[in-house]
Every structure is written in C-alpha cells, then in structure tokens.
Structure 1
Amino acid sequence: MSFFDLSLAIKDIVPIQLEKYLRSSGWTDDEAIGDKAKVWHRPEKKYFDLELVQPLDKSLRDYMQRMYEAMQVVSDFEERPIKKVIEDVINFSSDIVRIRVINADVQGGVIPLDDGVLLFERAKDLLVSSSLSAFKKKRFFSGSWPSAVKDFLETLRFGQTERGSYVVNVIAPIMPFPEGDISEADSSITRSMSNNLAKSLEATIIAVEKYEESESLIFFEDAISSGVSANLCDAIIGISGVNRNRDVEISIELALAEIDSQKIVRKHKFLSRQVPVLATASEYYKGNFVINNYEVFGLVVRMDHEPTEGYGVVRVSSLVNGVTRNISIQLDLDNYWEAVKAHKPNIPVVCRGDLHVNPRSASLVNPKDFSVVRNPDMFDDLS
C-alpha cells in the first residue's frame, strides 16, 4: 500500500476507535497533552521506553503525519503490516465477511461485469440467509423478514474490494442485541449472525462431502438444524459466477471489540466441482429431488385404470423424509390388480424404483419388485 493509499485509510480512523484498540491490546494511557494528543506506553518492563503519541484533533496541521507515526509504532510492535493494523483499527467494532472467488480469469483483480454484479447480489443473499436462519431454521425462506433482520441488514456495508483473485468485503458493525429475539449466548446480534454463518457454512461443506461419497440426500436434511437452507446454497452458487466455474472462499473475521470464546471454523472453501452438488441440495430444500433405488412402503389410497390400457396407476401413502406423501406408481395389470386387492383390507404394499418428488406430487419411476406385504406384524405396526 502506497503512502497515498495509507493516507486515505488513516482519514477513516476515528480517535475513539484507536483508543479502544490500544486499550484492548494492552497499552496504557499515561497522560494527555491538553486536548491535542494522548501518550501511551506498554506495561511490560522490556518495552519501558516504547511510546506512542495518539493525535486527537483532526484539525491539527500535522494530524495525518502523527497518526501515521502512531500506526507505525503499533505495526512495529505487533510485527504486522501497517495496512493490516489500520484495517483492524478502523474495523475494531465490526465483524467482516470476506468473500473470495478464485479462478485464472480474476487473478488480475478484475472480474467480468455480469459476474461482478452477480457476486455482490449473492454476497448480500448470503448474509440475508444467515440472518434469517439465526432466528429460525428452515429449508427455504420466502416472504417478509423479521424487523430485527431488516435492522441488522441496514447496517451492513460493502468495504473496498481486494486483489487476491477477487475479494469482496462485507462489513457488519456490532449491533446491540434485541432482547428476547434470539436465545443465543452472543452479546450482540452481529456476532450471533456471524457465528451462525460460520456454523452453517461448515455444515454445508460436511453435507456436500458426505453426499459426494454416498449420494444420500439425508445429509442435507441433517444440515437444516445448523442453518443450511436453499437460500444459502443459491447464494454460494451465484458467487461462483454466471458459468459456476470459480472456487469460493468465505472467511469471517470477528471484531476485536467483542470477545468470543467459541471455537468455530472461520474459513470455508467450496470448489467449483461441488457447485452441482449445492444445486442438488437447493432443489432438495425446495422440494424438488430424486432418490434412486427408493423403496416405497405404505397403503394404497387410490387406483386408476382405463379399460383400454394395459396398465394401472395406484397412489401409495408413504413417509418420505418424515413427510407423508401420496406416491403415484404405474404398474402392469397383474401387479395393479394385486394392489386393488390390498386396498380395502388396508394391507400395505412395497415397491422399489426411482422416487421423483416436487412440491405438488411424487411418483415412482421404473418400478420393480412390487409386492403385497402379508406379514401380520408389519400390518399391526402400521395401524
């Protein structure tokens, strides 16, 4: 960062924020020089001679130079780049969500226009989905937002973009917690949102990896309780670009102003090859999914057959992921008439195939191994 850029950043430092930063870092203020400056020292004996002079009055002619010198003292003491120190002082009371997209086409710090627009839109959606799931865990969010979520989202700001492929910063100032809205241990609504985002991203990665191994949708079902939703998946998919060809890295930096002892993973990475899995998860949460080689077990609740047709269709009431659905199954006539016989005495039937589900209907495609269950014990359990 050039001195010119540093000067621009130093202008954003608020003296009270620097004071809070220094005090939280262990510095002690020994004396004030009127209302113009304050002198700070380290309490450790080996740093007895280390002194920092903090300018307080921005109208001073040499304010920028003195503030730069103060930042340089902190930078040298912490052995960190002055740019990073200035950022931490400015954002002392803000959590930061850094969203990085990685691909050869963005390594120069630029991004195609359509992808850039989509990136900023989906970055907002990411924070919206996390905020909503902090209040209530759902598969898919739609409709109006709680007032506390609206108030929180209005405080968010996009910070300056960074090089390093292409990085977008979302700055979330610490916001007091509305009493009674969330039963969390966090002392601010901002930290509750940040922790919820971190937990939901970690749960998403775990579910994606387990699905890649087994192709079982049950892992996405398990992740709902951790804040994963269709909205979260769609946000990550959009961040990966119009062509869905970029890796996505999301990291969460916590404000130094609020102590947080929770051990939560703060950096998460999604590979471009995992985006189709996220799309599958999103459709599943919206009620559109396919389960291959699924076994339907339940009672026949409806039958349809035209005399001129060589097949019949039955609907079987069966549980799918804990929800009762009427599943349509097209059967040859021999099996269809067996299903008819099982209808009135309420004898359960079983059939295997590929289960196709959407919000309005469910059907078993490529059915096989249809049979009437004549085990009295199973019948007793069902009734």
Structure 2
Amino acid sequence: MQATIHDREALKAISPAALAAYARSAGWQRGETYRLHSHIYAGRNRPEIIVPRTDHLGDYATVVSRLIEVFAQVADRDELTIYRSLVTGDRDVVRIRVADSNDGSLGLNEGVDLVSGARDLIRSAACSLSRTQPVYRAGAIQEAKELLEQVRLGQTHQGSFVITVLTPIVPPPVEPFQQELFPGLSDDQGDEERDAPIQRKMTRRLIEALQAARESTERVAAGVSDAFADGVEKGVSANFCDALTCLIGPFPSLDIGVSWARTRPSPLPEAVVRFSKADSPILQEAARRFRERAPREDVRLRGFVQILKRPETQNDGIIHLTTQIDGRQQAVSVSTVLTQLDYEKALQAHSDKAMVTLTGDLERTGQRWWLLNPQVESVLRNEEGATEAEEESVA
C-alpha cells in the first residue's frame, strides 16, 4: 500500500533548495524560468516538472506534494521514502545503528544512553573546530554550543534501531560565477575545504575523528601504545572517547554513517565507521590518559619560590614553585614564565621567604609540571605564610 502525504506543515518543511538538489541528482536539468519564482526542469525519459525557488507561495505545499508523487514514480519508490530524503536534503545526516535490535526497539535506559552519547559525540566534534585539545569543558565553547542547539533528531528506521542526527542546515554554495563541480579535486580539495560552511566542517570533523579513533583502537590492540597520540589534531579527545564508549554500551557492534546534504554535494564518499564491544575498554583508557595529560584550567597553587631565571635582555622570567598537587604530601616543582611585574613580585617573595599564590592552567609535559597563563594572585607575609602552611599541614 502506497502512503501519500497530505499534511501541509510536513510538506512545507521541505525547502526549495532540497527540491532542486533532488531533481538535479535524479537526472533532471534546470531550464528556463517559469513565471517569477520557479524553474522548469527536464530530463531524458522524465516528465517536465516545475520547481519553485521560494516557499512563499500560496500553493507551495500542493506543489511539493505533486513533485513527491513524480519523484516516487520515476524512482519506483514509495512517497514516504522520497519525503524522508527531501526533508533531510539540506542537512548532513548522521546515522548511528546498533546491531542487536531486530524488532526496532531498545530498553529505555539503553535508548537514553544512545541519545546522550550521540549528543556528546556531535558536541565534541563541534568543540574541536575552535581548537583541538585532549579535553573540553562542556558548554565552554560558545560556537559549539550554538551549533549543537541547531542539531535535530530525525526519525528512526524500521527493522533496526537507528539514531538519526540532522546537522544544522547546510547552505548551498554561493559563487559569483558557475564553476565545474569538483574539477579534478585539484589542490587537495582545498577550495571545498576552505569554503565549506561551519555546519559541513562539523560533519567532516566528526568523520575524521571517528576514522582516527577506529584506526587508533586497532593499533592499540596490535600493541602500539601511543596510537592515540596523533588523534587530537583530528578531533579525538577524552570527551569523544567517552561519547563512543557510551554509544557502544551493551551492544556487540555499532555503525556510525554519514550522508551529505544534497544541497551541497561533497567530494568525500559517504562513510560508515564500525566499533565493537572490544573497543570500549581501549577507548575508556584513552580517555583517562587524555585527561591525565590535559592542562587543568583555573588551578590555584600555593608554595615557595625556589629558583628564578631571567636573561638580562628579557623582561619575563622563569620561576620554579615548590607546591603540592592534588593534596599529596610530597611537594613537587612547578615551572612557569612570569611577566615582568609578576616576576618582580616573585623575586621579592623569594627574598622574604614569603608564600606565593599563583593561578593558571596546570600541564604536565613528560615528568615536568608547567603552569600556563600564570598570574601572581597574592604574596603572603612570612608570618602569614608560615601560619597558613601549618594549618594546611594539620588539615
């Protein structure tokens, strides 16, 4: 039985750009203008159709319904399938499919974890567009937050459980003149890479990070301990690994695929990346190691200045602060580069044997601790520093 779509709001959800993109991909070619707001499309062994350029038409829903009917007849497919293709035609589509759901259902908790993991996966990819780093603070990057607010969940598919994630609308390319589509992909796809809108860049980064994570887990299983080292530049992070672990959950395998928006064809092939339950502990360990090595933001350190170094020709100087980290009894040395004003404060504190409080981002490189973006918050008098140190020791 063929389903016919009559809901006007559902029909109006299909954009003119999606209609035109589908027609071109299905073998129609744009011809002359029809009236003020439409084009005539024609193709070999295809009926002539009229495709609107705007949805500000009184009969837009009726026009869309007729086009769906024609597209379905030519493709020999049902109208509901054509509708789903059209309504997502101006968005990149990410599909996450679990392996052991033959009846199309999941346990409630498993379903919640799947949606939560999908959200975190997309958010991690969006965060890495701003700057790649091993750990992100959720919600800290405004551009990623704004992108995530535009992401939508699509309909699931019958016969298996599939989370369908729709990226924000990917606008068609806007060029001052017509160019051949992907002419030889010269310059390493450079033009497409540079000119792509942020929505497409997010989807590409997602696929790049998925493939890097997939390759890294295989290399770790083969005995390569530093396999994840190069993944950060491709968008792999502790957050990304945690999201994948959440998605894999209790399932024996998980497929994540991407379809590109018809309104903006991509030179990259549609990709599917598969993970299995055996990947989960590797991804968990990678996330732990990422966090262990990542800078800790907005850390406050209190201790005594032991070593100061400043070349005669420079204003900034390096100090080594003896302090405690994570409440451990054993003192460690933290190095940092201070501006001229803060260096003078540290120099005076060293002379007075006074306690100094520094703030900044703590990072471990090899066996050495560094404080990035440092600032001297306070210098305690000798008596105050000694008293406070004694109180902390008792605590």
TM-score by length of 2: 0.61
**Once the two structures are superposed, what CA deviation does each residue of 1:136-166 show, in whole Å capped at 9, x if it has no partner?**
1111112543222122111111111223421
Does 1:146 find its partner at 2:141?
Answer: yes
Distance 2:81 2:15 in 1: 16
- Counterpart among 154, 169, 174 of residue 174 in structure 1: 169
Counterpart check, 1:225 vs 2:226: no
Q: How many pairs are equivalent? A: 282
- Residue identity matched to 1:272: K
Q: Is residue 123–residue 145 contact of structure 2 (8 Å, CA) maintained in 1?
A: no
Alignment of 1:314-325 (within 5 A): 323-325=365-367
2:22 equivalent in structure 1: 21
Q: Find the aligned partners of 1:232 and 1:97 in 2 and give their Cα distance.
A: 15
| Residue type at the aligned position of 2:18 | Q
Alignment counterpart, residue 246 of structure 2, candidates 238, 263, 267: 238
- Measured in 2, the distance between the counterparts of 1:21 and 1:172 equals 18
* SS of aligned partner of 1:269: strand
1:209 to 1:239, Cα distance in 2 relative to 1, 3 A: same
| Among 245, 267, 271, the residue aligned to 2:276 | 271
Quick one: distance in 2 between partners of 1:86 and 1:132? 32
User: 2: CA distance between counterparts of 1:184 and 1:38?
Assistant: 30
Letter of the aligned partner of 2:228 in structure 1? F
CA contact 1:125–1:231 (8 Å) conserved in 2? yes
1:198 is paired with a residue whose SS is: helix
Residue 41 of structure 1 aligns with which residue?
42
- Cα offsets for 1:8-51 (capped at 9, x unmatched): 5646334553245325654335564798x875322x4xx3x623
* SS in structure 1 at match of 2:367: strand
Aligned mate of 1:85, from 78, 82, 85: 82
Aligned residue type for 1:28: R
8 Å CA contact 2:18–2:262 kept in 1: the answer is no
Structure 1's 101 and 7: CA in aligned 2 closer, same or farther, altered over 3 A? farther
Q: CA deviation at 1:87?
A: 2.3
1:368 aligns with none
Distance 1:151 1:40, change over 3 A: same
Kindly indicate whether residue 91 of structure 2 is the aligned counterpart of residue 94 of structure 1: yes
Is the 1:248–1:270 contact (alpha carbons within 8 Å) kept by the matching residues of 2? Answer: yes
Code of the residue aligned with 2:87 in structure 1: it is I
2:113 to 118, 140, 143: 118
Q: SS of the residue aligned with 1:28?
A: strand
Structure-to-structure mapping, 1:1-383, within 5 angstroms = 3=3, 6-7=5-6, 10=11, 12-15=13-16, 17-23=18-24, 26-30=28-32, 32=34, 40-42=41-43, 44=44, 47=45, 50-52=47-49, 67-78=64-75, 82-103=79-100, 106-142=101-137, 144-174=139-169, 185-214=194-223, 216-241=224-249, 244-262=250-268, 266-287=271-292, 323-325=365-367
Partner SS for 1:286: helix
Distance in 2 (CA, whole Å) between partners of 1:186 and 1:101 is 34
Q: Give the distance between the partners of 1:257 and 1:176, measured in 2 at CA.
A: 7
> What amino acid does structure 2 have at the position aligned with 1:198?
I
The amino acid across from 1:252 in the alignment is V
> Deviation of residue 80 (structure 1)?
5.5
8 Å contact kept, 2:97–2:254: yes
Q: Calculate percent identity across the aligned residue pairs.
A: 25
Q: What SS does the aligned partner of 1:3 have?
A: coil
Give secondary structure in 2 for the equivalent of 1:221.
Answer: coil
Further displaced range: 162-171 or 123-132: 162-171
How far did residue 85 of structure 1 move? Answer: 2.9
Aligned to 2:299: none
Q: Given that residues 98 and 162 in structure 2 are in contact (C-alpha distance below 8 angstroms), is that contact kept between their aligned partners in structure 1?
A: yes
Q: RMSD in angstroms over aligned alpha carbons?
A: 3.8
Aligned position for 1:340: none
Q: Residues of 2 paired with 1:199 and 1:51: CA distance?
A: 40
Residues of 2 paired with 1:199 and 1:34: CA distance? 43
Residue 227 of structure 2 aligns to a residue whose secondary structure is helix
Deviation, 1:73, is 2.6
Q: How far has the Cα of 1:88 moved from its partner?
A: 2.6
Is this contact kept in 1: 2:171–2:264, CA < 8 A? no
The answer (yes or no) to whether the contact 1:186–1:192 under 8 Å persists in 2 is no
Seen in structure 2, the aligned counterparts of structure 1 residues 23 and 160 have a Cα distance that, compared at 3 Å, is: same
Match of 1:380 in 2: none
Shift of residue 70, structure 1, vs aligned partner: 2.5
Alpha-carbon separation, structure 1, partners of 2:153 and 2:127: 20
Q: Deviations over 1:198-219 (max 9, x none)?
A: 11100111000111111x3200
CA distance in 2, matches of 1:80, 1:187: 32
Q: Where does the alignment leave 5 or more consecutive residues of structure 2 unmatched?
A: 173-191, 294-329, 333-363, 370-395
Paired with 1:155 and 1:143, the residues of 2 have a C-alpha distance of: 16
Q: TM-score, normalised by structure 1?
A: 0.63
Secondary structure of the residue aligned to 2:109 is helix
CA distance in structure 2 between the partners assigned to 1:184 and 1:53 by the alignment: 33
